[in-house]
Amino acid sequence: MRILLVGAGGVGSAFAAIAARRDFFETIVVADYDAAKADKAAAADARYVGAQIDASSAESVAALCREHGITHVMNAVDPVFNMSIFNGAAEAGADYLDMAMSLSKPHPEAPYEQTGVKLGDEQFAVADDWEAAGRLALVGIGVEPGLSDVFARYAADHLFSEIDELGTRDGANLVVTDDDGNEIFAPSFSMWTTIEECLNPPVIWEHGRGWFTTPPFSEPEVFDFPEGIGPVECVNVEHEEVLLMPRWVDCKRATFKYGLGDEFINILKVLHTLGLDSTEKVRVKGVEVSPRDVVAAVLPDPATVGPRMKGKTCAGLWVTGTGKDGEPRSTYLYHVVDNEWTMQEYGHQCVVWQTAINPVVALELLARGTWSGAGVLGPEAFDAVPFLDLLTEYGSPWGMKEL
């Protein structure tokens, strides 16, 4: 297996650090628009090579694939680049993995009621072409989406005879401080992506109704997260799980709720009010810039906040329905990661590390032949048990509790 890793930011660098401890691949070409950043991440292992890439160009992606004999393209950049990387991999005859699907576009007349272009629609539109070519595009294989989707498959196969709701619930008690120990606002993940998913209309799926939307931050609920994180208010957010799970797992309803907190929600609302969430370029003193790019640029780089971060992050899936014994069941399957541990063990903060470990596990299963397939597939399309077993073998076990 010869992997092209596109993106050497927080998640890409964590991916490189995790994969360096495994032996399932021959080489990884770490590529970034910033060649110095790629070289720095590539220094993690003698099997790595740094390279420069233009992720917005399918031709650039395909050329690098051909130059290095790439078999699998791993997309670790913001989803605005998904289609160029996705198409570049297809052009070069390589398999493809990403952690977020192609972007959505709200419905032009009823954005908070009906879906427009949904997450992943552009990729699923060419699924037949990928299948005919015998190539696999494994989409949404980060932590959320990704591990939560694996949990959905596991719950359907081993825990439930009938599922009422697949409810992804994501929360944390992370705190970032400045040099004087004062708590500061510093997102632990790509601010560009966070704005995209939090301000777009959230999507819900229901049996008999299909996909529909609601206003941002709707249906608040307090969810009690495990391992000391505790109660966190969660709200509806647009996310890929809701677009993926119903395609492969029978359920009556699918939702995604994220524990953002009042401060974060207020900041996002202000950004939207001021138009600073826009991706449309504006001219400022003779220079064209995207307001959202400016917001992301002035905030701390998520890859650098680890040493000043404390706490844990939890990704999981709350499943309700009827158990295999015919009795009502309510179960939360989860994965908790402590920032202190990831910083000590890998030198990367917990949110990017938790995101990065899952595609490494998936690639190892593909290299072994344990997972295989063709077309555009989500994690739900594969057996969950080998994935969860290998995740535990990596030293990061998952958990489960009855609610």
> What span, in angstroms and rounded, lies between the C-alpha atoms of 199 and 315?
20
Secondary structure of 231-256 in HEC code, one letter for each residue: EEEEEECCCHHHHHHHHHCCCCEEEE
Output the pLDDT for position 285.
Answer: 84
Output the pLDDT for position 363.
Answer: 98
> What span, in angstroms and rounded, lies between the C-alpha atoms of 255 and 257?
7
Q: Which two tokens stand for residue 31?
A: 């590529």
> What span, in angstroms and rounded, lies between the C-alpha atoms of 116 and 268?
22
**What is the per-residue pLDDT across 336-375, written as a single tens digit (0 to 9) for each?**
999 999 999 999 999 999 999 999 999 999 999 999 999 9
Domains and CATH numbers, the chain: 2-138 (3.40.50.720), 147-349 (3.30.360.10)
Q: Which pTM does this prediction carry?
A: 0.92
Look up residue 307 and give its DSSP letter.
G
Secondary structure of 108-135 in HEC code, one letter for each residue: CCCCCCCCCECCCHHHHCCHHHHHHCCC
Q: Are 144 and 306 in contact (CB under 8 A)?
A: no
C-alpha pair distances (Å), 396 with each of 18, 88, 143: 12, 33, 13
Residue 66 DSSP SS3: helix
- Mean pLDDT, 10 residues at a time, the chain of 403 residues: 96 96 98 96 95 97 98 96 98 97 96 96 98 98 96 98 98 86 72 80 97 94 95 94 98 94 80 85 88 82 77 97 98 97 94 96 98 98 98 96 96
Q: What angle do CA 157, 137, 397 make, to 5 degrees?
A: 45
Output the pLDDT for position 183.
Answer: 76
Output the pLDDT for position 189.
Answer: 65
- Percentages of the chain per state (helix, strand, coil), in multiples of 5: 35, 30, 35
Q: By C-alpha distance, which of 80, 112, 110, 292 is closest to 201?
A: 112
Output the pLDDT for position 57.
Answer: 97
Task: Tell whether the torsion through CA atoms of 154, 159, 164 and 169 is positive or negative.
Answer: negative
Q: Are 244 and 140 in contact (CB under 8 A)?
A: yes
